[in-house]
Amino acid sequence: MNVNRSIRASTVRLIGNDGEQMGIMALDQALSNAEEQGLDLVEVAPGADPPVCRIMDYGKYKYQQNKKVKEARKKSSSVQIKEVKFRPKTDDHDVDTKIGHAKRFLAKGHKLKLTIMFRGRELAHPHLGEEMLRHVSELLAEEAIIESGPSREGRHMSLIMAPRASAQAPKTPTPVDDPAETPVQSPAETAAES
């Protein structure tokens, strides 16, 4: 965006600070109009014939644009990929603990990378890693869906899961779900109905 003396056109179409059309005039006259108001002359449409310029406070404009960008950055939610690592021989109790961590990550809306790490002779048996990944993904089936299938990279085999939409939203109890709200029938009322 060209401002003040960096504008190269000899004539410009001028728009005032309040948005009113001031017409086509020489660049020097437009600059003097802007200086009289203590503002800047900013070229807003350089491709037009003649270029369109506006009288405005350029510093304030830039500040507001930066503020909008920061607000947009704050509002955008960044999805992180959390990794949970296993070995082909990981014990069931350890798997349960790691599944608990994985469910917590998914509940917060993060993606999940399940990684099987092979060592030594385990590399000769990749089917064990695939079985482990299948087992873990079945345990997480209610909370997540598989986004990309098992892929092997050197000594690691990994699978990426994304949280289900229903798993992310916390469930709010409805009056039917609340046991305190459910009417209790006496044995006499139950016998009378049957």
Of residues 7 and 188, the one with the higher pLDDT is: 7
What does the pLDDT look like over 40-72, one tens digit per residue? 888 888 888 888 999 999 889 899 999 999 888
What would the pLDDT profile of 96-118 be if each residue is shown by its tens digit? 999 999 999 888 888 999 999 99
Predicted confidence at residue 188, as pLDDT, reads 52
Q: Give the pLDDT confidence score for residue 77 in this predicted structure.
A: 66
Domain assignment of residue 37, given as a range? 4-73
Per the structure, how many domains does the chain have?
Answer: 2
**What confidence score (pLDDT) does residue 67 get?**
93
Residue 38 belongs to a domain with what CATH number? 3.10.20.80
Q: Is residue 107 part of a domain?
A: yes
Phi-psi group of 38: left, alpha or beta (phi > 0 → left; psi -120 to 50 → alpha; rest → beta): left
Q: pLDDT tier at 80 (50, 70, 90 boundaries)?
A: confident
163: left (phi over 0), alpha (psi -120 to 50) or beta: beta
Summary mean pLDDT of the chain: 82
Task: Give start and end residues of each alpha helix (H) in the chain.
Answer: 27-37, 58-75, 92-107, 126-139, 165-168, 187-193
Q: Which letter does DSSP use for residue 47 in this model?
A: T
Q: Among residues 42, 35, 38, 47, which one has the least CA distance to residue 15?
A: 42
For residues 98 and 133, membership in a common domain is answered with yes
- Rank 4-8, 137-141, 185-189 by mean pLDDT and report only the highest: 137-141
Q: In terms of domains, do 60 and 96 share one?
A: no
Query: 7-16, 75-84, 90-99: which range is least confident on average?
Result: 75-84
| This model's pTM is above 0.95 | no
For residue 116, what pLDDT is reported? 92
Q: What is the CATH number of the domain that holds 86?
A: 3.30.110.10
Considering the domain architecture, whether residues 146 and 91 belong to the same structural domain is answered as: yes
* Predicted pLDDT of residue 166: 57
Q: So what's the pLDDT on residue 84?
A: 92
Q: Say whether both 45 and 111 belong to one domain.
A: no
Per-residue pLDDT at 10:
87
> Does the pLDDT of residue 182 top 70, yes or no?
no
Tell me whether residue 180 is in a domain.
no
Same-domain pairing of 50 and 107: no
The token pair that represents 65 in the structure block: 């644009």
Question: What are 127-150's pLDDT values in tens digits?
Answer: 888 898 888 888 888 888 888 888
Residues 74 and 89: their CA atoms lie apart, in Å, by: 42
Token pair 């109905």 is at which residue?
Answer: 193
